[in-house]
Amino acid sequence: MTFRPDKVSQFLSIFESSKNKIRSFPGCMDLELHRDHNAKNIFITYSIWENEKALNSYRNSELFRSVWPETKILFLEKPIAFSNVIVEKISIA
């Protein structure tokens, strides 16, 4: 997500007030916020969900409907979302 530089602190405030609600949403197994090393207005939220049904339940929830409108008005560019499936996980023995 690329935010208007003057709106980054507003986004961080929204995330701070909603992160525990999102993380405790049924089916959410992990939630992280990443920031680009060089571009301080680019962020990624990384979440792991039990399954697609749990993710869609969140996307259709009142929580999402309250957080998303506040967030999307802060964007500088259209956000990009990905849903991934692990193909292979490599661990060091």
64-to-15, 56, 68, 83 alpha-carbon distances in Å: 12, 10, 6, 17
pLDDT at position 23 is: 98
Q: Is 78 within a domain?
A: no
Q: Is the pLDDT of residue 79 over 90?
A: yes
> In this prediction, what percent of the chain has a pLDDT beyond 70?
100
Cα–Cα dist 25/63, whole Å: 9
Chain mean pLDDT for the chain: 96
Q: Is 91 within a domain?
A: no
Number of domains in the chain: 1
Question: Which CATH number do you get for residue 40?
Answer: 3.30.70.100
pLDDT at position 59 is: 96
Domain that holds residue 45: 5-72
1-60 pLDDT tens trace: 999 999 999 999 999 999 999 999 999 999 999 999 999 999 999 999 999 999 999 999
